[in-house]
Each structure stands twice: as C-alpha cells, then as structure tokens.
Structure 1
C-alpha cells in the first residue's frame, strides 16, 4: 500500500476532483461594499486634511482618482447581479485597479512618507483569501512595482510649512517593511485559505458519497417494501387473468388479449420477486457479525488475483454505509498495492474492537505517513501523484462510526492501517469470540 489513491473504482466511485481549489472568486456585493468603504475613507481623509487641518493637497487630481473608483463601482453594480461572482481575470483586474488607484493617491500625498501607505496590503490580502495563487502573485508584483515607484517619485507630504525630510535609510526600511508585510501576509493567508478550501471540498465529496450510498440502501428497502405491498394486488390480477384465459382462451376476438394479459401479469410477478431478492441481498440485516461484514466487504476483491485473509470475531456490529464504504476504500488500497496478499484481522477486549489491514507491498512512503488522512496531498508530498482523497474519505467515514485510525509500516515491510472502536459505538446485540 505504498500510495493512497483518490478513491477505489467501485462502490465509492467519486465525482471528478476539483481542478481549481484556489479560485473561489469574490462576490460582486462584497467587492462593491469594500470599495465604497475605501472611497468614503479616502474622501473623508482628503477633506479633513484640506479643510480641517488646512494642508494643501492636489484636490483635483485626487478627486479624479476617487471619482474613477466610484464610477467603476457604479458600473460594476449595474452590469452584475449582487450575488454574481468575479473569478479569474475579472477579479484580478478589479483588485489591480484598487492597488493602482491607491498608488496614485499615495503619489499625490507624500508616497511612502504617508502613513496610509500600509493600505497597499489590503487588495493583496483579499486576493490571497479569495483568488488563486497565480492571481495573488500577480498582485504582489504590482504592489512591489508601486512601492518602487513611490520610493523614487512622489509629491511632497501635505504639511504646514516645509515637510520633514526623512533619512534615506528610514525610507528604505519602510519599503522593506511594507514589502515584507505584503509578501508575508499574502503567503500566510493564501496557505490558510487554500487548506480550508481543500478540506471543505473534500468534506463535500465525502458527504455526497455517503448520501448516495444511503439513498441506494434506502432504494433497496423501498424495493422490498414495494414488492411486498404490490404482491397482493398483483396476485389478484394474475388469478383473474388465469380465469379469463380459461374462459375466453379460444375466443377469436378476445383470446389473444386475455393470453397477453396473463403473460404480462406473470412477468410482473417475476420482476417483483427479483426486486425483493436483490433488496434482501443488498441489505439482509441491520446488524451482522463482524466476520460476516468483512467477508462481504472483501468479496468484490476476490477476482483481483491477490489473496485476502479475514480473521475476525463474531462481535455483532451495525451494518452502516459509513462502516461498509470506509472499509471498502481502505481494503481497495491494500489490494492495489499488495504484492501477493492482504490480511485483515480483528480482536476484541472488554472495551474496544481493533481491526488491522496489512499488506505485503512496499509500504507507505515515510514522508507521507504524518499527512495520511489529509485531503489533496499533492505532488509536492507524493512522487506517485496520489491525492490522498480516498484515505481522507475513508478516515472521515470511519471516524463517524467512532473509529480512530493510525497508519504505519510493518517492521518486515508492508503497510498497516489500524482502526480502533469503542464497543459502545460499533457493537450491537451480543458479543462473541471466534
């Protein structure tokens, strides 16, 4: 079992994996609201500095920059529904405009000497939270370019009298500090948001798998109930059809129709009997011995060419979709990567049930062991290209049954997955030993 697979090609067949985990996009309403807040803050700042403090500022140029942002916001609100999402290049262009607009205002009011220069961090942080890594890198580069321009060129800081002259080393330190803040916050927020999106999407896939399997189980029960309920009326129809066949079988006008009715009634009874049989096979009992459940799980892998040995007690457990399909996923991985055989052993004691799935393959790569159970391990953690989503789904499903999973490599080679349940969570009815 050297490499966790995305999902087994069987009962837990998954939907296509997400291909753009970092492109959640930004809602138009959110972007418009944030931009109106920025426009209001910029307008108030300029009015206070000019009217209240009496500093001379280039109001015409600054007003044009603020007006451009307001017009863009009005256009955005007009062309898009508030609940629409901007993704990809559209969202990137809007945040790039916000960066450039802020850069123009800083150029007009002292450049890096202006304390509001720290606001250059905001658009980059928004991108790191909602957009892709590529978009965030592009905004970081734009922010760095703006810092470089403001370092060399800007109008004097509004001041009563000659503005203070900052030492060049202080200005350089300000550039370094702002640049480091932009990059650090962007990387930190991007990493956290991407991890959160990966977990959320993996949980959505897990829930979809579980819901589908639960619906399939419910359909089996519904088929059995339908077969039982329809058996009575269908029996009456068959009886009447046979009587009509005996009475009108030779009638030149109705004989063929009566014979057809009799045949179709028989065919309906065969279909209902088959549905009832399938439902019983799919879900014979809500609680079964653990040994029986494990044999049921390994049955689809008998044609794999690998030997699968089961040694388990007869402790009665609840036959739930989570337990079934979590085990299917783990056993599928073991069978895929075993050289010749897979061993499944379970033991019980006074308080727990412990199940081990062991194969004779190459084992887990050591660098993967600390991360097994996480979704989307990615090529940076796996040379063989596995995503880890399959083991994540199995772990999530089995933890819902009260199980705790550990992954390790056996001393003599091969991978070992160990699952431990409190008996109170998994056992039902009586307990017994093999």
Structure 2
C-alpha cells in the first residue's frame, strides 16, 4: 500500500479564514487593553496616534476578511504565510513605538512563528522564522524609548538587552522546531490511519457484497423452484410437439443453468464469509496461501492436542494485520519465513520470523510509527505496512514486540489474552429439511 502523495510545500491547506480572524481579534483586544492600562491606568506616556493607527490597520484587515470570505473558507499555505507575516510586522511596529525588546510584550513575537509551525510546511515556517529573526534584530537596534513615568528614559544594560534578544531568538527556533515536529507526526499518523481505514472499508464492502449475493441467491431460489415445476409439466405435455417441443427443451436448459448459477453464487458467498469462526492453524494457512507462489517457502509450526486447538474469528483486522507482517518478512527473508503459534494457560501467541538481515538496531524502537522514511528504514520503505499491521492487530487486543533473533533475522511476537481472541468451538449446525423443489 503506498502512502498518500504529499502535497506541494506551499499548497498545503493552511487555516480557516475565520480561525485566523478570531485569533487576530484576540490579539487586537489584548493590544488595546495593554495600551489602556499602561497609558490611562498607570499614566505612562504612550504614542497614542501611531499605536492606535497600527491597531486600526488590523481591525480594517479583519473586517475585510470577514466580508470577503465565507465562514468555512480556507486560506492556502501562501495566504496564511502572508497573514502571519503581517501580524509580525504589526506587532513589531507596536513594539518599536513602545520600547522595542525592552517591552515585556516582545515575547509575543513567538506566537505567529509557532502558529506557522503547527499549520504550514517546513519551508513556509523557515521563511517566517527568518523574517521574525530579522525583525527581532531590527527592534534590538532601533526603537523608541520604553514609556516610563515622569518622562524618564529607562535604559537597560547592553549585555542584558543582548540576552533578551538571544532568549527570544532561541525560543523562536526551539518552539518552531518542536511544534513542527509534533504537528508533522500528527499529520503522518492521520494519513496512515486513513490508509488503514480504507483497507478495512474495502474488506467490509467485499463482505457486504458476498452477503448480498448469498441473500439474493436464497430469495431467488423459491421463484426458480416454481418455474422448474412449470417447465417440467410443460415438457411432459409438449415434448413431442414439433412446434413447441424445442422451445420447452430450451426453457428447461435455461432453468437448470439459472439453478447452477445461483448455487455457485451461494457457495462462493459462503466461502468468502468475512467473519467465520476458524481454528487458528487453518487461518494461518489461509493467510499464507494468499502469497503462493512465494519467493521463499512459508513454514507454519503449531501443535495443540486434539480438541484443544484455539478457535478465532476470521476478522479483517486479523487477516490484514498478519498479511502485512508476512509480506514484510517475505521481502527480506533469505530462504524461509516461519509462522509459529502456541499458547499458555492465559495467553495465545504468534511469531512471524525470517532469516534475513533483521531490523536495523536503530529502527527497532521506532517500529509501529507511520512513515519512518527511507533514511531510517534503509530500504526505501516508509514503515506504513508495519504501522497498519500494528494498528489492526491492536484492535483485536494484541500486543506486538519487534526484535532480532539471536541466530539472525527479524522477529515479530504477537500476544493476546486468550479471553480477548479465543472463541468457544462452534456448535454443529442443526440438520435442515430437504428442499421440496430440488
């Protein structure tokens, strides 16, 4: 299964317009409140006209966005980047007017960069981060005095100001990197889960189709039996008629053909029942047979006393999860893939192993995560197959452990509590009455 094609860096969905508008309204409210408290409440000299002009520009922009876009519209990556850049410029203007980096609210320069890291691509975030660092350096070099009572000018030591610059710059870089890593992991996991759900939906649709075919065959059996009786009576009375005899014979042939078709559909639907109850060795053989002819043989090793073979449900999670693990083992095996099964008093276990090179040691702690990437896997694999297998099998209550065997080769151990997966043996079906219509 191939992972979803990544979107171009700057064309990835950015953010809903109304989300951006609401965040900016919150910033506008905070800026106005700070000016009012400092200027009117504390009596500090504030450059009211230019400061209010900068805030009014954000108000006008928000109003125009609300009028232009509908509630659910989204800005793409480029549009979001431009708006976050504007927010940096507007905040920098206010900081320039009110003391530059000596203003405690200079810490808010971190906000647009952090938002970019959670919403946009790495390329966009790096561009905005560099722009923010440039504005930071400009504010450190040029700014109006910090408002202070009685018109006094407050000058902080140069070394302290340099420390503020370094702290904010390092905070920007760290928060941007951390937020981007977390959001990228969330995006990868979401894409992998979508792929997993697609596989399950496909299996469910196939199962529903088989059930529908079986139901249709059953429902059509009654009318077809009636047609069979009428065709037989017509044949008995008109078989020797030179005009109608051939048509009656053809009618009987087509009735028999319809019966054969419905019988075949019913048998195939029963054989493809997505949720039968099977002995575990039978299920393992079924999964292994889907890879025949395989590049290397698949050995199944299991042994239970007669009457103690565990019975499990043939669910899509179990089938797809085991198939993905076996497929991975077949790609890397040297001469054989082994499926071993056994049980204890409280657990049921499976082991999928091969005699290939094994998992890279630095990859073992990361197995089960989506999209590991070629640089980690060493083989061009994204790790999506193992992630899907892990996710599907965990839905059945399984616990997976990845390791390398002492004699070499990769090994995957799967364990269940017996109560989570084992079912009681199916009761024998009650005898049914023969169909009177044959």
TM-score by length of 1: 0.88
TM-fit CA distance, 1:205: 2.3
Residue 234 of structure 1: aligned partner = 224
Paired residue for 2:198? 208
1:219 maps to: 209
Task: Find the counterpart in structure 2 of residue 427 from structure 1.
Answer: 422
Work out the CA distance in 1 between the residues paired with 2:36 and 2:274. Answer: 78
Task: Determine which structure has greater relative contact order: mean sequence separation of CA pairs < 8 Å that are 6+ residues apart, divided by chain length.
Answer: 1
Does the Cα contact within 8 Å between 1:245 and 1:258 map onto a contact in 2? yes
2:109 corresponds in structure 1 to 120
CA distance in 1, matches of 2:242, 2:90: 92
Q: Distance in 1 between matches of 2:165 and 2:353?
A: 57
Partner of 1:388: 383
Counterparts of residues 4-403 of structure 1 (less than 5 Å): 13=1, 16=4, 18-19=6-7, 23=12, 25-160=14-149, 161-241=151-231, 265-283=255-273, 286-313=276-303, 314-403=309-398
Residues 193-202 or 35-44, more deviating: 193-202
How has the CA–CA distance of structure 1 residues 57 and 231 changed in structure 2, closer, same or farther, with 3 Å as cutoff? Answer: same
What is the CA distance between 1:215 and its match in structure 2? 2.8
Offset, 1:395: 0.8
Count of residue pairs the alignment pairs up: 419
- Bigger CA drift: 96-105 or 338-347? 338-347
SS at match of 1:325: helix
240-249 or 179-188: bigger deviation: 240-249
* Displacement after TM superposition at 1:32 (Å): 0.6
- Per-residue CA deviation, residues 136-187 of structure 1 (Å, 9 max, x unaligned), is 2112111101111111111222223121111111111110111111111111
Q: Is the 8 A contact 1:237 1:265 kept in 2?
A: yes
Stretch deviating more after TM superposition (390-399 or 312-321): 312-321
Aligned partner of residue 357 in structure 2, secondary structure: coil
The DSSP-based 3-state class of the residue aligned with 1:381 is: helix
Query: After superposition, what is the alpha-carbon deviation per residue over 1:40-76, rounded to whole angstroms, capped at 9, x for unaligned?
Result: 2222333443344444333332222222211221222
Three-state SS of the structure 1 residue aligned to 2:212 is helix
In the alignment, what sits opposite 1:5?
Answer: none
Q: What secondary structure is seen at the aligned counterpart in 1 of 2:263?
A: helix
CA apart distance, 1:102: 0.6
Match for residue 6 of structure 1? none
3-state DSSP class of the match of 2:382? coil
Shift of 1:238: 4.1
CA distance 1:262–1:107, change in 2 (3 Å): farther
Inter-partner Cα distance in structure 2 for 1:206 and 1:141: 38
- 2: CA distance, partners of 1:363 / 1:79: 57
> Could you say if the C-alpha distance between residues 336 and 232 of structure 1 is closer, same or farther in structure 2, counting changes exceeding 3 Å?
same
CA distance in 2, matches of 1:62, 1:268: 85
- The answer to whether the 8 Å contact 1:289/1:317 transfers is yes
SS at match of 2:352: strand
